[in-house]
Structure 1
Amino acid sequence: MGFITHCLKSARIDLGRCRLWVLGVLCLLAVCKVGAQSSVAELTELRMDRQDSALVLNAQLKLELGPAVEDALVKGLAVHFVADAELMRDRWYWYDRKLGGVSRYYRLAFQPLTRRWRLNVSSEPISNSGLSSTISQNFETLSEALGVIRRQSGWKVANASDLDADGHQYLLYRFKLDFSQLPRPFQIAAGNQADWNLVISRSLRLSADMVR
């Protein structure tokens, strides 16, 4: 009798281990599937143009949201993006000097009742309680809403008079999904998911013709 009981216990333990192993494999397959369709954020164009007395930024992004981000949006989570550009001047004896800059803040959300996408845009950080000070647009599809974020043109970064013809200036551009705007528990859960890791950083040296 003791032998049979021991065998039954061993069988249960083996069955439990087998279930855990199968569950682990299924989880791994799910992660691989998500990874194959992960979000994409790439800078396809970055340039500075001189318009009259201003220096303006023109950038184009390839931005696609992975299934984890889209699923969170459809379930009611707002996602924030930040793009900023700074015009800097080299200084060998100290930190580089900032000559000018521009920032854009985006809040993307899905509206279940209307089945439409809302995008809020502002030059200042956006809070859920301060949406009235933003420019708001509604779109039928997610792709249309992302199209506004992808095209960043005509942003004034600095005045042409701020440039030093004898100096060396460069543009520092950054774009990211603002993780700090997500609910704290969600930050922890999504921290290791590639879908949420959207960061771009690029520098652009100004040509001699630009500073004349």
Structure 2
Amino acid sequence: MGFITHCWKSAKAELRRLARWALGAWLLVASCAWAQTSVAELTELRAERRDAALYVTAQLKLELGPAVEDALVKGLAVHFVAEAEVMRDRWYWYDRKIGIATRYYRLAFQPLTRRWRLNVSNEPISGAGLGGSISQNFETLSEALGVIRRQSGWKVAEMAELDLDARQYIAYRFRLDISQLPRPFQIAAGNQAEWTLVASRQLRLTTDMVR
């Protein structure tokens, strides 16, 4: 009887040890997965008046998860869209749009040169229509993302279009545009957090900004 009791206590101790090990392993995997998730956070958004126009500057914390990076390395181009709208409050209807600035980014890896190409345009960029965009090549992915992270000097409205007595604000939004992915990738990406990159914020315009 004593032998059986001893064995049972040893088995319970072993089960507790295995449970602690399994929990630790799960927490380690979960923390690694969390650390590798794509990130898009707006760290700065400001507006300033220059030359009778209103300009916007935005700064992003932008990191791509392993699934997105792997797709890029395998030849898939990834598109981003950043948009800043100047809006005027209207209590009786939808807020009125005063001005807008939009940037389209196409990021791709070039296997032959092992370099990263970033196309930037004020118009939507298609796979075949890169002619109207500005193209830059980079040695590393981090360098290419650095251009996307820093968005400065966007003209969003003429000062003459703003109303000094009205309540106005800037609505900023940045996103990864999965609609530009091939159809099979669109379906798969729609269910993966790594591909759900969105950052948005509103900035209320003060009297000092519009005078």
TM-score (norm 1): 0.84
1:90 counterpart residue number: 89
Output the CA distance in 2 between the equivalents of 1:207 and 1:69. Answer: 39
Is contact 2:178-2:189 (8 Å) kept? no
1:169: which partner in 2?
168
SS in 1 for 2:93: coil
Kindly indicate whether the alpha-carbon contact (under 8 Å) linking 1:34 and 1:68 is maintained by their aligned counterparts in 2: no
| Structure 1 residue 52, shift from structure 2 partner | 1.9
Cα-Cα RMSD? 1.8
1:208 aligns to what? 207
Matches within 5 A, 1:85-124: 85-124=84-123
Displacement of 1:172 in angstroms is: 0.4
Instruction: Give the aligned residue type for 1:116.
Output: R
Indicate the residue corresponding to 1:197 in structure 2.
Answer: 196
Percent identical residues: 77
* 1:34–1:67 contact (8 Å) kept in structure 2: no
> Structure 1 residues 35, 190: closer, same or farther in 2, change over 3 A?
farther
Residues 8-57 of structure 1: per-residue CA shift (max 9 Å, x gap): xxxxxxxxxxxxxxxxxxxxx97874443111100000000101201001
The DSSP-based 3-state class of the residue aligned with 1:131 is coil
Q: Helix, strand or coil for the counterpart of 1:192?
A: coil
Shift of 1:201: 1.4
**SS where residue 131 of structure 2 aligns?**
helix
**Which secondary structure state, in structure 2, belongs to the residue aligned with residue 133 of structure 1?**
coil
Question: Which residue does the alignment assign to 2:42?
Answer: 43
Counterpart CA distance in 2 for 1:78 and 1:32 is 28
Q: Is the 8 A contact 2:86 2:169 kept in 1?
A: yes
The verdict on how the C-alpha distance between 1:209 and 1:32 changes in structure 2, with shifts beyond 3 A counting, is closer
Q: Aligned residue for 2:64? A: 65
Letter in 1 for 2:81: V
Letter in 2 for 1:119: L
Q: Size of the alignment, in residue pairs?
A: 186
AA paired with 1:124? E
Partner of 2:208, secondary structure, is helix
Residue in structure 1 matched with residue 135 of structure 2 by the alignment: 136
In structure 1, distance between residues paired with 2:106 and 2:30: 27
- Aligned position for 2:148: 149
Please list every run of 5 or more consecutive structure 1 residues that lacks an aligned counterpart in the other structure.
Answer: 1-28
Indicate conservation of the 8 Å contact 1:171/1:205, yes or no.
yes
Equivalent residues of 1:175, 1:201 under 8 A apart: yes
1:156 aligns to what SS in structure 2?
Answer: strand
Mapped contact 2:49–2:210 kept (Cα < 8 A): no
Runs of 4+ in 1 over 4 A off after TM superposition: 29-33
Unaligned runs of 5+ in 2: 1-27
Q: Deviations over 1:154-174 (max 9, x none)?
A: 000001111111101100000
